[in-house]
Amino acid sequence: MYKKIFNYFKIFTCIVLSFIILTGCSKSSTPNSTGTNASTNSDKNENYSSENLGKNITSSGSVTEQGKLVVFAKNNNNIAVDMEIEVEFYDANNTIVGSDSEELLGIGSNGEIAVEMYDTPENFDNYKIYVDVEKTDEISYYDQLEVTHNNNGEEIAVQVKNNSQDVIEYIAVSVVYYQGDKVVGIDDDIESDIKSGRSANFNLDFPYDKKYDDIKFDNYKVFVNGAYSFNW
C-alpha cells in the first residue's frame, strides 16, 4: 500500500514539474541482457494475453508401462511462458475418477516438455488435458544451455551446461523411453544453483513396469522442463 502511495506521489510530482518548467519527467531503461525474458519495444506491440499464448501451445498424452500418464507440450510462442497443466481422468462412463496438475516455469520459445502425472489413478478409461499459459515473470535460459547425454548401460547420464553469465536457480530435465513410437517409461530430476560455465548433472533411471521389472527400450529423448531464475 505504501509503495502505491509513493508511486502516486512520484507521478503527481512529475506532472506538476512538467507543467511548470515544460520538461517531462522520463525514465529510461535498458532491457535485461540475460536470459530470454528481456522486455523489448516490440513486446509492447504484441498481444500476450493468456488466450493468445494458449493458441500456440500443442499438447498430447501417453501412458507408460507403469500406468502413469506423460503429458507432452510445446511452446510455439516467440516468448518464454509459464504452463499450468491440469489433467482430469474418467472411467468408461465418463465419470471422473481422479485429477492431477503440474506447474512449469519459464519454458522458452520452441521449448518442449514432458512431465509425468504422479497422481494418475490406478484405473481410468480416458483423460482430458488442459494447459493454461501466461507470459513468464521468470528469467528463462533456454537458449543459453548446452545439453549432452549418454546411455552408459545402467542409466541415462544427462549434462546441461549453463552458458549464461548468471547463476541459474533451477534446471529440470526428464527422459522419456520408447519402444518404437510407444512411450514405455519416464524419469525426471531437478538441480539448483548452477553457476556460470558449470553444469547440472543428472542420472536418470531406466524404465520399469508395475511389478518393478525392467522394460526394454530402443530409444529415448531428453526434455528440459525448466531452466530459470526468479526475477526478484
Record the pTM.
0.79
Q: Per-residue b/e over 74-106, b at no fewer than 16 CB within 10 Å?
A: ebebebbbbbebbbbbbeeeeeeebebebebbb
**pLDDT above 70: percentage of residues in the chain:** 81
pLDDT tens per residue across span 18-27: 433 333 333 3
Return the pLDDT at 89.
Answer: 98
Across residues 138-142, what is the average pLDDT? 96
- Is residue 136 within 8 Å of 203, Cβ to Cβ? no
Check pLDDT > 90 for residue 191: yes
pLDDT tens per residue across span 5-22: 334 434 444 433 343 333
Return the pLDDT at 36.
Answer: 45
Check pLDDT > 50 for residue 34: no
Across residues 71-96, what is the average pLDDT? 97
Mean pLDDT taken over the chain: 85
Element (DSSP H or E) covering residue 4: helix 2-21
Return the pLDDT at 43.
Answer: 52
